[in-house]
Amino acid sequence: MSKTQLFDLDGKIAFVSGASRGIGEAIAKLLAQQGAHVIVSSRKLDGCQQVADAIIAEGGKATAIACHIGEMEQIQQVFAALREQFGRLDILVNNAATNPQFCNVLDTDLGAFQKTVDVNIRGYFFMSVEAGKLMREHGGGSIINVASINGISPGIFQGIYSVTKAAVINMTKVFAKECAQFGIRCNALLPGLTDTKFASALVKNDAILNTALAQIPLKRVAAPSEMAGTVLYLASDASSYTTGVALNVDGGFLS
Ligand SMILES: NC(=O)c1ccc[n+]([C@@H]2O[C@H](COP(=O)([O-])OP(=O)(O)OC[C@H]3O[C@@H](n4cnc5c(N)ncnc54)[C@H](OP(=O)(O)O)[C@@H]3O)[C@@H](O)[C@H]2O)c1
């Protein structure tokens, strides 16, 4: 009896935004472990190069490319580079997001609002448009959007961030419906509280952490690596009939 090949990514090209640390780094490493050539991306090249070097040191394939997904010109430039260097893209993981202001919704600053929308909605949207065009030329692919449980149940003092994550869940369904005809699947991962720099203000504050843990049936926060398996499933043939779904990986928080 042979082992399943359903999770093999040999020969696939995968782009992971926000892959220099946290959840994106864990995703990049797992996809590379399964055989994909991973493009490790974030705003700062140094951090990406370190992750790419670690993947290569383990025998995997990786390339570091800087891209600020809130800047339209940078999205255009990165896809021009991808066309030139690889000529195709099989997997896009939209993972990089921002949450610059932690406050009551009535105190939302216009600059923070704009930045959150530009990165979390416009960035995910046009990264998916460019990836979708490239995938369409080669018979399909898989887009995975890292949203959040806050897209279903808004986080306290995370107003506009939660709004953008709800938009990402809807965006996932839009791309799933309109791009299925091109062989492109699009699904979302909804992480619960995960121990990363992004969540450090929550995880390192005992009062906030204990309130959060009281609402999490598994009674702990997630490690970044616990998000990566779901992305591998959504990226691979194991999920070949799955599109338009939002998968909660939240220790039971939303149940
Ligand atoms: N941690 C949680 O509890 C949690 C819960 C639910 C959802 N999420 C979601 O999970 C995803 C990853 O979060 P994380 O916790 O892993 O965060 P993290 O550890 O802070 O990592 C964020 C990554 O995104 C990059 N980045 C930030 N802004 C960017 C931009 N404008 N363009 C390109 N790259 C950018 C960062 O690198 P540079 O600084 O080099 O750009 C870094 O690689 C996000 O979508 C977040 O909303 C996290």
DSSP 15-43: EEET-SSHHHHHHHHHHHHTT-EEEEEES
Residue 146, ligand 1, Cβ within 6 A: yes
Q: Could you list the residue range(s) of the whole structural domain that residue 164 is in?
A: 13-196+224-248
**Distance separating alpha carbons of residues 249 and 227, to the nearest angstrom:** 7
Asked if residue 206 belongs to a domain, the reply is no
Asked if residue 201 belongs to a domain, the reply is no
Asked if residue 72 belongs to a domain, the reply is yes
Asked if residue 166 belongs to a domain, the reply is yes
Asked if residue 205 belongs to a domain, the reply is no
Which strands sit side by side in the sheet containing 184-191, from one edge to the other?
61-66, 37-42, 13-17, 91-94, 141-146, 184-191, 246-249
Residue 70, ligand 1, Cβ within 6 A: yes
Q: How many domains does the chain have?
A: 1
Asked if residue 82 belongs to a domain, the reply is yes
Asked if residue 56 belongs to a domain, the reply is yes
Q: Is 233 a catalytic residue?
A: no
Asked if residue 171 belongs to a domain, the reply is yes
CATH of the domain at 143: 3.40.50.720
pTM for this model (two decimals): 0.98
Two structure tokens written together for 53: 């070097």
Substitution candidate for ligand 1 out of 95, 158, 190, 221 with most atoms within 8 A of CB: 95
Q: What pLDDT does 201 receive?
A: 86
Buried b (16+ CB within 10 A) or exposed e, 153-165: ebbebbbbbbbbb
Residue 24, ligand 1, Cβ within 6 A: yes
**Distance separating alpha carbons of residues 84 and 101, to the nearest angstrom:** 38
- As a whole number, mean pLDDT of residues 201-226 equals 95
What pLDDT band is residue 178 in, cutting at 50, 70 and 90?
very high
Residues 29-39: pLDDT tens digits?
Answer: 999 999 999 99
